[in-house]
Structure 1
Amino acid sequence: MLGVDFSSSPSARKPIVLALGQRTGTQVQLAQLHRFHTLADFTAWLAEPRCWVGGFDFPFGLPRALVQQLGWPLQWSACMAHYQSLTRAQIRDTFAAFCAARPVGAKFAHRATDGPAGSSPSMKWVNPPVAYMLHAGVPCLLQAGVCLPGLHPGDSARVALEAYPGLLARQILGRRSYKSDDRARQTPERLVARQDLLHALETGQNRLGLQLQLGHAQRDAVLNDPRGDVLDAVLCLLQAAWGESRRAHGDAGYGLPPGFDALEGWIVTAQPATASATTTTGDTP
């Protein structure tokens, strides 16, 4: 299993953080933390021959309403190829013009998964710039030749699922904040929130029914990162483990809802609006 807290412009100050682990039943053991300072190094690691299911914290697709309005290809691979051909400035200007033409309160187009997951629209270019994360991240996956279930065939031994750590964190903490990139906002209250969140993961008191196992040094690394990058990678690791557990129990779609929009993509562990919100084990949404 692996979980990835992604940066569209990684550096020594803001690396991509990858949490590597393994699942045994409902236990998920954190094994290692890797940090990548360049997209090229990250892509090279993903391309290495090994078996994994990973959760990646960036969107895998754009809203259908946006793509249709812009007249872009409606097939995922062709749409992503077109999107990759654009510069960030072109993306910003195109999306800003789209928003300017829409009414107040409905500026952004959303994917079907955004409501159940509580995620930002994947066309958003600021706070957070997830449009740029998609622009940088999906090409890494395609260049590495991995499989994106329901979207793109690839090496079935390396499976990438779209993850969103905020989904699992909010189900435990509510609206309490546990991280900040702003040093002035890296408060004791956010440290307590990280402690509470990690306790719920370690004791299995979470809707995924999974129990995180980690050593003392790893626990310190999670808690002492006020930006939350390490904790977000661990949350993505658990979401990937949930998807892999579904596959182990016969769900070829890794827990993604049948018939989800193959242009937009879907966030693993997010429940469609028509699904039950009740869960009791690691094998059900």
Structure 2
Amino acid sequence: MAPLLAGCDFSSSPTRRKPIVLALGQLDGDAVVLQRLQALESLQDWGDWLRAPPAPVVAGFDLPFGLPRELVQALGWPLQWQACMAHYAGLTRAQIRDCFAAFCAQRPPGGKFAHRATDGPAGSSPSMKWVNPPVAFMMHAGVPRLIAAGWHLPGLLEGDARRVALEAYPGLLARALIGRRSYKSDTRAKQSAERLAARQDLLARLQQPGATGLELHLRAGAALCDVLVQDARGDCLDAVLCLVQAAWGARRHATGDALYGLPEGLDPLEGAIVTAQGQGVDLRPGATSAR
């Protein structure tokens, strides 16, 4: 049975105005077929979905799954991933902010943050960053719930093999398709015609066979495409980008890759972003980008 595929644009503080968005679909040959979009307005709703998704499922989640080893060692936290995440989950957001800020304060300008090995190839923000964007808080809200729900995180945690969670990053695939053009904003005043045009171009490229560099392209109906273009925040489009990354991982697993395309030498404390170091796949245009 082919797995359900899911892409998740995550928020550490979802609301009706800014929900967690799921893009759900399946593979049909080289096409990733987008079947529907689903909005979850609270972490409780997201946790409920995690506990009872249609199984089997391979999902790409836009949140970091691990902290930089350099940071964890400096703080004296557990070096085993699950123990580290349990320690992390026991802290408040204020404690995390203060701890990470103190770490950064002792480091030289230009090197304040510690980075994971996956951040360079992906061009992603460091997972310890607590503002703009607050990916440290996204991990704090998301990873413990994935663990509690029993998901399998390749390379990090053995769980239910019918529910597979991959760390995704939509900015990685977006840059491969339209470069560094901005296609979204949460600020209404910045939701411009230029960003609308960028979303239109991004979607068109995503649907074009061969354009992603992943040997996959998106297939979606007109109504869903209209939603993707008109969502000025970009949450729906980001969920779809994560969906395509999850599809790539699922395809790799179907050909015998137990790590779903993640690098064989991935750090079992840090984790890795799916497609960032895929064999024969170079999605990094050079400059780094915030998550």
Distance 1:133 1:258 in 2: 26
- In structure 2, C-alpha distance between the alignment counterparts of 1:23 and 1:236, rounded to whole Å: 14
**Residue by residue, what CA displacement relative to the aligned partner does 1:9-64 show, whole Å, maximum 9, x if unpaired?**
01101100000000122111101111111111111111115210000000000000
1:54 aligns to what SS in structure 2? strand
Q: Percent identity?
A: 66
Aligned to 1:251: 257
Aligned twin of 1:14: 18
Render the CA deviation track for 1:174-232: whole Å, top value 9, x for unaligned.
11100011111111111111111101111121111211111111001100000000000
**TM superposition shift of 1:278:** 5.8
Determine the structure 2 residue equivalent to 1:201: 206
Match of residue 156 from structure 1 = 161
Superposition deviation, residue 276 in structure 1: 4.9
Structure 1: distance between partners of 2:131 and 2:277:
26
| Correspondence list, 1:169-180, <5 A | 169-180=174-185
- Tell me the equivalent position of 1:77: 82
Instruction: Report what 2:230 is aligned to.
Output: 224
Alignment-derived partner of residue 283 in structure 1: none
- Aligned mates of 1:171, 1:211 — CA distance in 2: 13
Tell me how far 1:159 sits from its aligned partner. Answer: 0.1
Please, which runs of 5 or more residues in structure 2 have no aligned partner? 284-291
Name structure 1 gaps, 5 residues minimum. 280-285
Pairwise CA distance, 1:168: 0.2
Distance 1:216 1:102 in 2: 51
2:12 partner letter: S
Residue of structure 2 equivalent to 1:143: 148
Q: 1:89 to 1:120 in 2, by over 3 A?
A: same
Is residue 91 of structure 1 aligned with residue 96 of structure 2?
yes
Q: CA–CA distance in 2 between the matches of 1:220 and 1:34?
A: 15
DSSP 3-state at the match of 2:113 = coil
Write the letter of the residue equivalent to 1:224.
Answer: Q
TM norm structure 1 = 0.95
User: Residues 69, 278 of structure 1: CA spacing in aligned structure 2 closer, same or farther, 3 A cutoff?
Assistant: closer
* 1:24-63 alignment runs, 5 A limit: 24-48=28-52, 50-63=55-68
